[in-house]
A and B are shown apart, each in its own frame.
Chain A
Amino acid sequence: MSVAPADVAKIASLARIKVTQAEIEAMVPELNGILAWVDQLGEVDVAGVEPMTAVIPNQLRLRADVVGADPLTGGNVRDAVLANAPAAEHGFFGVPKVIE
């Protein structure tokens, strides 16, 4: 499969990356080179093969149902969470207006 400039613009939009027309033109051959290369996977016979979901068998655990069971991840750390925000206001993350 291969991509055209319109496809690259669509992918960039899905990925939320702003691209110029010149960047799109440059990406088309690069992405097509990579896609042509990965297309060889299509020749592998995978009949009856399950897609891998875990490399090492492991049981998913539930954490203890306790507030603040882990002091680092358990909450009540608002200021630490906001400390690196580009625009923290009134104890919240600030963003541009999203409703008129």
Chain B
Amino acid sequence: MSELTDLGIAAIRDGVAKGDFTATEVAQAFNAAVAEANPALNAFIVTTPDHALAAAQRVDAARAAGQPLGKLAGVPIGMKDLFATKGVQTTAASHFLEGFVPPYESTVSQRLWDAGAGMLGKLNLDQFAMGSSNETSAFGNVISPWRAAGDNAGRAPGGSSGGSSAAVAARIAAAATGTDTGGSIRQPAAFTGISGIKPTYGRCSRWGIVAFASSLDQAGPMARDVTDCAIMLEAMAGFDAKDSTSLDLPVPAWSAQLSDDLKGLKVGIPREYRIDGLNADVAKSWDDGIAWLKDAGAQVVDISLPHTRYALPTYYIIAPAEASSNLARYDGVRYGLRDLPEGAGLQDMYAATRAAGFGSEVKRRIMIGTYVLSAGFYDAYYTQAQKVRTLIARDFEEAFRQVDVILTPTAPSAAFVLGQKSDDPLEMYLNDVFSVPASLAGLPAMSVPAGVDRQGLPLGLHLIGRPFDEQGVLNAGLAIERRAAFTARPEKWW
């Protein structure tokens, strides 16, 4: 039998249920893999082997007692350190929240534990989920398990869910949670050759997730394949009265209804995504994707999303505006860091605390957000951006009158070398050029591995669906997965 850490969600759950191995054996294997790899990859900020073991022992006991097992029974996962976990440090990869131990559990993580999953640890990320390379973490860079052929330079695992993507790709977690504000599940999934889905806004409760931009933030699974994503999303999604934007809808049985037969399906190819100077390998993988979807029976249709080029600047007004408001809570009074200079008053304490607690990218976004919301500039920036956002959403509505899903590349390039883009905020922001429009419109979207570029690094394809149509996105993803036959794996160097 292959190693237990080679198995994903469905294989572990089914193997545990059948008695091929115990959940405890699985947890031990992953705990050992984490302990071995983490010093090199820095994917976890803290590890929680006891949590994984205790969950596994409960599953083994339940099975021995003949009780029904959950959707994720015996599956050890990584938890992005943006989800509050009761009794386990939750930092959002910020110095500000170092030592913060939530007295409560986020809704999404609680649902995963209720489904029988266990936690291997809290995964590193860009600080407050702001970044595309995991280089803004206060706990150091995550190093991607992937290296280019003949080049040992450390590569970005993507961001902000970079610990999640690295851990799943390195096979030290069976799956991981991610959160996506402008592409933070999909871009890291593409960079590391794994699958990840951001569901329709409101599918997963935001309660207990450290807030970045509340009108955009959505949790979702990052896993080895499309089927595992479907299973895990079923466990994560569902109505929660504690989130005012939670969708009060039943959770479909996505995994049971997976099908790669796309006969009758119309797939849109938006011409505006064929940007000037599009990377040749990315363009080729997009063409491959078109051919695979045709092979699966779909009809391919050229479409137009005319406001695409305005999506990124719109996002970089709205997300910082919401962040500046959300992050006002970090004041050195209720939790987290406090910096109280000798003789300082309350206002000085706020300013000193926030100067000491936030990293430079977080400060930059708070400053931009404060500016665009300030008197005299609000209408010119914030209101204008919200109007353009309406037009971007309308573009998708129009397109979905003609087509059922939209296919694009996930990111404009494969994983870059750490440090290559960190000096220029605008160049870093451009990483999200293909993922941001769907975020602004609240649409379900996923990345699936499509192949490797000429350097041997993974490339992802991106599927965008109608609101609530995760099934359409997952099915098209499955059709690509089966035809791409992506089997490349990072060679183990850690």
Tell whether A pairs with B.
yes
Of B244, B333, B371, B425, which contacts A60 at CB under 8 A? B244
Assess the B425–A58 pair: CB atoms within 8 A.
Answer: no
Contact with B along A1-27 (1 / 0, CB 8 A): 101000110011111111100000001
Knowing A34-B425, A51-B390 touch, does A19 contact B100 (C-beta < 8 A)?
A: no
Is the C-beta of A90 less than 8 angstroms from some C-beta in chain B? no
Is the C-beta of A50 less than 8 angstroms from some C-beta in chain B? yes
Interface size range on B against A: 35 or more
Is the C-beta of B294 less than 8 angstroms from some C-beta in chain A? no
Knowing A51-B386, A98-B345 touch, does A11 contact B371 (C-beta < 8 A)?
A: yes
Total A residues in contact with B, Cβ cutoff 8 Å = 54
A16–B330 Cα gap in the complex (Å)?
10
Q: Which residues of A contact B333 (CB under 8 A)?
A: 85-86, 93, 95
What is the count of residue pairs linking A and B with beta-carbon distances less than 8 angstroms?
165
CB distance from B118 to the nearest CB of A (A): 22
Chain B residues 317 to 347 lying within 8 A of chain A, measured CB to CB, are 317, 324, 328, 331-338, 340, 344-347
Knowing A3-B371, A12-B367 touch, does A96 contact B313 (C-beta < 8 A)?
A: no
A15–B323 Cα gap in the complex (Å)?
11
Assess the A55–B442 pair: CB atoms within 8 A.
Answer: yes
Assess the B242–A73 pair: CB atoms within 8 A.
Answer: yes
Assess the A15–B370 pair: CB atoms within 8 A.
Answer: yes
Chain B residues 13 to 36 lying within 8 A of chain A, measured CB to CB, are none
Is the C-beta of B366 less than 8 angstroms from some C-beta in chain A? yes
Chain B residues 352 to 372 lying within 8 A of chain A, measured CB to CB, are 352, 354-355, 358, 363-364, 366-368, 370-371
Q: Which residues of B contact A27 (CB under 8 A)?
A: 364, 367
Assess the A52–B367 pair: CB atoms within 8 A.
Answer: no
Of A42, A84, A95, A97, which contacts B384 at CB under 8 A? A42
Q: Which residues of A contact B337 (CB under 8 A)?
A: 86
Assess the B390–A41 pair: CB atoms within 8 A.
Answer: no
Is the C-beta of A66 less than 8 angstroms from some C-beta in chain B? no
Knowing A30-B364, A61-B241, A85-B335 touch, does A46 contact B391 (C-beta < 8 A)?
A: yes
Contact with B along A35-61 (1 / 0, CB 8 A): 101101110101001111111101011
A60–B307 Cα gap in the complex (Å)?
29
- 12 further contact pairs, Cβ within 8 A, besides A41-B388, A85-B335: A15-B370, A17-B351, A18-B352, A19-B355, A31-B371, A33-B426, A38-B317, A38-B381, A55-B442, A56-B467, A77-B103, A95-B346
